Amino acid sequence: MGKYIWFDKELFYPILLIMFKAVFPGSFDPPTLGHLNIIERASAIFDEVAVVVAENRQKKYIFNAEERLFMMNEIVNSRGNVRCFVWDSLIVDFMRQENIRLLIRGVRGMDDFSHEFELSMMNKALYPDIETIFMATEPRYIVLRSSSIKELASFQGDVSKMVPSVVAKALKRKFSMKDQFDI
């Protein structure tokens, strides 16, 4: 959340404008229509949404950070109040740096929720000023999960109704390439 104050020349009194900025972090390996739905809904509510592509050296991804950032930028392209970043450290550090206090997480069900709830407790302990907002998925996206989509794509299954077309193409390219990937 950022606060801006300016003086209205005609009315001659200060106007306080509160900008609600939110961050939506994830692996996005790859981005799915479920992620996109959360981004669209968040961008309709908040003034600015920062989509943060996580780069965690302990984790194995099939798409590197640049590829995931590229796909995300393509997908959110037309939404003026959404910006995408890569971040290789704690999300709370990104939030501190960018002065953002709202963290959005998507939930598909109780399994997601219990995991996300614990994460939110940890983040709150690290940075007490932040609030986590849980957004329930839309029912049609409830089964969309990056890991299952990768598995389906690895068997040349049709993922065109699960991911944006730029991602479907990238998955096709990735799995038609020489060596196999660990999913």
DSSP state of 141: G
> What's the min distance (Å) between Cβ of 176 and ligand ADP?
23
Core vs surface per residue 14-28: b (16+ CB within 10 A) or e: eeeeeeebbbbbbbb
Among residues 79, 108, 124, 174, which one is catalytic? 108
> Is-catalytic flag, 115?
no
Q: How far is the CB of 89 from ligand ADP (least distance, A)?
A: 16
Sketch the per residue contact string, 48 through 67, with ligand ADP: x for CB under 6 A, - otherwise: --------------------
Task: Using alpha carbons only, give the angle 156, 161, 163 rounded to the nearest 5 degrees.
Answer: 80
Q: Which is nearer to ligand ADP, 2 or 73 (CB)?
A: 73
| Residues numbered 99-138 forming contacts with ligand ADP, rule: CB under 6 A | 105-108, 112, 137
Nearest to 30 by CA among 80, 74, 82, 93: 74
Told to judge if 146 belongs to the known catalytic residues of this protein, a careful annotator would answer yes
The answer to whether residue 124 is catalytic is no
CA distances from 70 to 58, 83, 115, 122 (A): 22, 12, 28, 30
| The binder of ligand ADP chosen from 72, 87, 141, 167 (CB under 6 A) | 141
Q: Which conformational region is residue 131 in: left (phi greater than 0), alpha (psi within -120 to 50 degrees), or beta?
A: beta
Count of other CB atoms within 10 angstroms of residue 33: 19
Cross-strand partners of 22: 49, 102
Smallest gap, in angstroms, from Cβ of residue 24 to ligand ADP? Answer: 7
Say whether residue 43 binds ligand ADP (CB under 6 A).
no
With respect to ligand ADP, which residue has the nearer C-beta, 46 or 141? 141
**Residue positions annotated with a catalytic role:** 35, 59, 108, 146
Instruction: Kindly list the residues in this chain that would bind ligand ADP in the complex (CB under 6 A).
Output: 26-28, 32, 34-35, 38, 105-108, 112, 137, 141, 144-147
